[in-house]
Amino acid sequence: MTSSLSQPLTLPGGTVLSNRIVKAAMSEGLADADNQSTPRLETLYRRWATSGAGLLLSGNLQVDAAHLERAANVVLDDECDISALRRLAAAGKSGGAQFWAQLSHTGRQVVAAINPEPLAPSTVEIDVVRGAGYSFAPPRQMTVREIEHAIRQFACSAAKAKEAGFDGVEIHGAHGYLISQFLSPLTNLRGDRWGGHLRNRARFLLSVIRSVRDAVGPQYPIGLKLNSSDFQRGAFTHADCLEVVRMLNDTSLDLLELSGGSLEQPKVVGVALKDQGIDGPRATTSKREAYFIEFAREVRLAAKMPLMVTGGFRTRAGMEDALNTGELDLIGLGRPFIADPACACGLLTGETQMIPSPEADLHLFHLLGWFNMQLIRLGDGLDPDLSIDGPTAAARFAKLELGMMNALLARRTATGADS
């Protein structure tokens, strides 16, 4: 019998995905010093192009060069190098999969060394576990002009992605970045039409979707990554999520991806560091491998657009079961595509019953470093090296990131001195 994973899916705008496996967005940190795409990124995506996935999502590409998430993000703005982007898009599409660009604005969730003056809906400082050794600057509240400007920046980036040949875009509305900051009553304390009750807190998201749609035209696929909950006391809840999904039904979204958490509460990778509030652990979810699957069932009932769930899927049986029960339409996989860049092929043929989960043996503070060192290997045309230990990878990564942050700082100082 054909696996449910191998079934094609037609999106509302008519785009056909060849199967149900999606490589989720993972920030690559492989841009050059001018935040443009590089041959390393092309090599990485040429590798993933043969992974078997029906859809590849890029790591978060930034809509504003002044609001990076890390020093080596790719920026999609008016000044971006469209030929480099064209080469990247072509690399991702070279195996026949769809390749979409994920668009993001970091807002307040960025270390001070990258952005000492972050913008946010309100002046609420981030409250992260300090053990990882980073410090964060207090954000400045966005003016209405800055809000409207950010909305236009999403539209401009989407137009650039389309011009470069990406097959679609995904708006990053999850994980504590700017859109997510607007949605949460913990980070959005505004008293104007951009804050307060949920309809107002969702105004930024809905405006971004509308302006992106205007920029790319009616047929071009637009996805959204949204938290099923922030899993944090006083923040965006699952009830809020369901309400927002009903609002999204009136937009022209082609795909909704469910995730959860933020840097403060890294449920995105299955970890809780704080009180999870009213959406705390559900007994049934803890018995299943995917982190947000029980939330997906309720979203499924509310959502008119196709639903993708990302986080924790590791067995073919778990993925097929989720698809067969109709809880979702697409399976998003992140880290497995780094540890085994061809993992979708084996899942589709049935040769693979379980995909790798090296994170199980890594300390939380080493996770990012370990997976990023593997991304660098892939960008260099090498295979992943699963034998690298967590502390070594984390130390090498920290050194590299520090080097890139210092270079960024030096460039900014030089630009400031020139002007």
Ligand X SMILES: Cc1cc2nc3c(=O)[nH]c(=O)nc-3n(C[C@H](O)[C@H](O)[C@H](O)COP(=O)(O)O)c2cc1C
For ligand X, the binding residues (CB under 6 A) are: 24-27, 59-60, 102, 172, 174-175, 225, 259, 268-269, 310-312, 333-336, 368, 371-372
Residue 334 C-beta: closest distance to ligand X, Å: 3
- C-alpha closest to that of 228 among 171, 271, 267, 284: 267
CA distances from 180 to 87, 203, 229, 322 (A): 31, 12, 10, 26
Residue 191 C-beta: closest distance to ligand X, Å: 30
Choice between 106 and 207, CB closer to ligand X: 106
Residue 299 C-beta: closest distance to ligand X, Å: 16
Choice between 303 and 393, CB closer to ligand X: 393
Residue 395 C-beta: closest distance to ligand X, Å: 17
Residue 311 C-beta: closest distance to ligand X, Å: 4
Choice between 167 and 195, CB closer to ligand X: 167
Q: By beta-carbon distance, which residue lies closest to ligand X?
A: 334
Choice between 368 and 394, CB closer to ligand X: 368
Residue 28 C-beta: closest distance to ligand X, Å: 8
Choice between 195 and 241, CB closer to ligand X: 241
Choice between 126 and 393, CB closer to ligand X: 393
Choice between 29 and 121, CB closer to ligand X: 29
Choice between 40 and 172, CB closer to ligand X: 172
Residue 414 C-beta: closest distance to ligand X, Å: 28
Residue 335 C-beta: closest distance to ligand X, Å: 3
Choice between 52 and 59, CB closer to ligand X: 59
Calculate helix-pair angle for 364-379, 39-49, nearest 10 degrees: 90
Residue 361 C-beta: closest distance to ligand X, Å: 15
Cα–Cα–Cα angle for 400, 261, 399, nearest 5°? 10
